[in-house]
Structure 1
Amino acid sequence: MALALSSEAQDLLFREARTANTFTDEPVGDEQMRAIYDLVKYAPTAMNQQPLRVLLVRGTEARERLVGLMSPGNRAKTAAAPLVAILAADLDFHEELPKVFPHFAGAKDLFADEAARARSARFNATLQVGYFILGVRAAGLAAGPMAGYDAAGIDKEFFDGDHTVLAVVNIGRPGENAWFDRLPRLAYDEVVTTV
C-alpha cells in the first residue's frame, strides 16, 4: 500500500471532500472547533512560527459586518453558514516565538525586518490554512474557503493592524445542492518532474 491512511480516511480528507456552497442549519460548536484546532496545530511551519489566527464569527452583528465585506457571490452563503472563520496571519507572530521555539534564544531577533516578517507570517499561516481545512474535513464537516472579499475592509473591521486576512471559511454540514460539479485536476506527469 502506497499510503498509510485507510481508503475511507483518504476519501474523507481528499477524494470525496468538496468545497461546500450550502449548509444545513446544524450548529458547529466550540467543542468541535477546539478538537479541530487541537489536531491542526501540528501543521509544519518554519521555526514553529504558528502565525495563524482564527476569528470565529458567531454573533449576528459581526456576521452582518462580515457579509457586507464579502464579494456579491459569497454574501448569501456566508450569511447562511452555521459558522464562519476568518483566517489571518499575525504579522507580529515573532513576539510568541520564545514560547514556541524555546531552544533558540535569538529566534525573535531574526524577524526584526518588518517586510521579511510579514512575508514569513503570510507564507507559514497559509500552510496552516490548508491544515485547518483538512481538520474541518476530519471532523466530518465541510469547509467553504473563499478569497472573494474586501481584504482591507476585513483587516480594518476585525483586526487591529497586526493581522491580515488570508481566507474566509464557511463551516458546517453540507446542505442541499452543496456541490458544484467536480472540475478536473492535472495528472501526475503534468505536475511532477524529476531531475
Structure 2
Amino acid sequence: MAEPLCDLVLDRVFRKARTFNSFTDRPVDEATLRALHELWKWGPTSTNQQPLRVVWCVSDAAKSTLAALCAPGNAKKVLDAPVSAVLGMETNFVHYLPRVFPHTDARGWYGDNRRLIEESAFRNSSLQAAYFIIAARLLGLDTNPMSGFDEEKVNEAFFAGTTSRVNFITTLGYGDPATLYPRGPRLEFEETNLIR
C-alpha cells in the first residue's frame, strides 16, 4: 500500500499553493511546457478520452489576440504573464477512442448522442485542466485560471477549423508573492460533505 506523500508536496500542491495575478519576469520555456504535458496527460479520464486541448500563447502577438477577447482585468493578466493558455475541449474525442481505448469499441457507447459527447468533453477536459494546474504546481509554476472572455471569439481565434472549443483560460509562470492578497477562507468538511 502506498504511503502518503510528504508535507512539502501536499503544501506545494494544495495547502500553501496560491492563485497568482502577477508573475515575475522569469521566462517559461518550451521544454517546461512539454514537461507539464508529460505530467498532466497521465491523469485518468472517462474511457481514457483525453479531450483537453491546449493553445499556448507565448508570443506577444498571441497574447495580444487573447487579451483583446478578455474582460479588461483579465486582459492585463494575459498580457503580463510569461505564458497564457487557452484550455479547450475536443468535441470529437470519439475519433481517438480506437487508439486510446483499444480493448473495446467505446465509440458505440457514445453513438451520435451529441449531448452526451459534449457533456463528456466538458467534464473530462475540466478534469484534465485540474491535473494541468496540479502538474504546474509540482513543477514549481503558478497559474491563474479564468473565465471572463468572449467564448465565441476565442473559438474563432484559436480553434477555427477544428472540432475543439474553449473551456477556460489560464496564465502560467512563476508567481510574484509580493502581489498576493490574503488567502480566502475555505469551507469546512461539515459544510461540503455528507457521509451516508
TM-score, normalised to structure 2's length? 0.94
**1:129: Cα distance to partner?**
0.6
Alignment of 1:132-143 (within 5 A): 132-143=132-143
2:146 aligns with 146
User: What amino acid is the match of 2:56?
Assistant: L
Number of residue equivalences: 193
Report the Cα distance in structure 2 between the residues aligned to 1:44 and 1:169, rounded to whole angstroms.
21
1:113 aligns with 113
1:166 and 2:160 correspond: no
SS at match of 2:178: coil
Identity over aligned residues, as a percent?
36
1:192 and 2:163 correspond: no
SS at match of 1:32: helix
User: What amino acid is the match of 1:110?
Assistant: W
SS at match of 2:89: strand
- Mark the runs of 5 or more structure 1 residues left unpaired by the alignment: none
User: What amino acid is the match of 2:156?
Assistant: K
TM-score, normalised to structure 1's length? 0.94
1:21 and 2:21 correspond: yes
SS at match of 1:193: coil
Report the Cα distance in structure 2 between the residues aligned to 1:151 and 1:187, rounded to whole angstroms.
34
* Residue deviations 1:146-187 (CA, integer Å, cap 9, x gap): 111111110111102511111111000112533222111011
User: What amino acid is the match of 2:129?
Assistant: V
- Mark the runs of 5 or more structure 2 residues left unpaired by the alignment: none
2:99 aligns with 99
Greater mean alpha carbon deviation, residues 152-161 or residues 70-79:
152-161
SS at match of 2:87: strand
**1:42: Cα distance to partner?**
1.4
SS at match of 1:177: helix
Alignment of 1:37-76 (within 5 A): 37-76=37-76
User: What amino acid is the match of 2:108?
Assistant: D
Report the Cα distance in structure 1 between the residues aligned to 2:128 and 2:179, rounded to whole angstroms.
25
1:89 aligns with 89
Report the Cα distance in structure 2 between the residues aligned to 1:126 and 1:174, rounded to whole angstroms.
23
| Runs of 4+ displaced beyond 3 Å | none
SS at match of 2:33: helix
* Residue deviations 1:105-144 (CA, integer Å, cap 9, x gap): x212332212211111000110001110001101101111
Report the Cα distance in structure 2 between the residues aligned to 1:177 and 1:153, rounded to whole angstroms.
34
Report the Cα distance in structure 1 between the residues aligned to 2:179 and 2:86, rounded to whole angstroms.
21
User: What amino acid is the match of 1:187?
Assistant: E
